[in-house]
Amino acid sequence: MVRVMGVTLAALATVAGVADAGDAEKGKAEAPSAFTLGVVQKELRSGMSQAEVVERLGSPNILTRDGTGREAWVYDRVSSEIEISNAGVRVGGAGSGAGGTFAGLVGISGGKSTKKVRSSQRTLTVVVRFSDSGTVESVSWHHSRF
């Protein structure tokens, strides 16, 4: 009887948790997707309006016009990664007993500890050129990591 009640209570808690998570998701706005080359290639197509580009990528960093008055939007993103790792070696005491005598190392400790820091940056620059009618004419990009 106690076992069945425990399983029933666990099942009810799980159902309640799922219901609460569903209610929380209803009120939460969708998180924006990361700005990556894959997103740009997936979301942008020739002929899209400027409003559609803003919906998919957000506002550009730079807006320029060429000599004929056509707009070009530049999206420039930089991300940094820092990796810190600790490495250490410690040697503890060890001993062995043989025939009632004790021989070996006892209580000797030593070691070396090092810290490595590695950083890198990634850049993604996307240029969206628009036609005279304000639709996407071409998309170009440059991606680098250093």
Range of the structural domain that residue 43 is part of:
35-145
**Domain shared by 22 and 61, yes or no:** no
Same domain as 84, residue 18: no
Q: Say if residue 146's pLDDT is above 70.
A: yes
Q: Tens digit of pLDDT for each residue in 32-89?
A: 458 888 999 999 999 999 999 999 999 999 999 999 999 999 999 998 888 888 866 5
Residues 24 and 43 in one domain: no
Indicate whether 23 and 39 sit together in one domain: no
Residues 108 and 40 reside in one and the same domain? yes
> What's the per-residue H, E or C state across the chain?
CHHHHHHHHHHHHHHHHHHHHHHHHHHCCCCCCCCCHHHHHHHCCCCCEHHHHHHHHCCCCEEEECCCCCEEEEEEEEEEEEEEEEEEEEECCEEEEECCEEEEECCCCEEEEEEEEEEEEEEEEEEEEECCCCEEEEEEEEEEEC
> Do residues 83 and 121 both lie within one domain?
yes
Tell whether 140 and 116 lie within a shared domain: yes
Global pTM value: 0.55
Are residues 39 and 101 both part of a single domain?
yes
Same domain, 90 and 113: yes
Are 5 and 46 members of one domain? no
**Domains contained in the chain, number:** 2
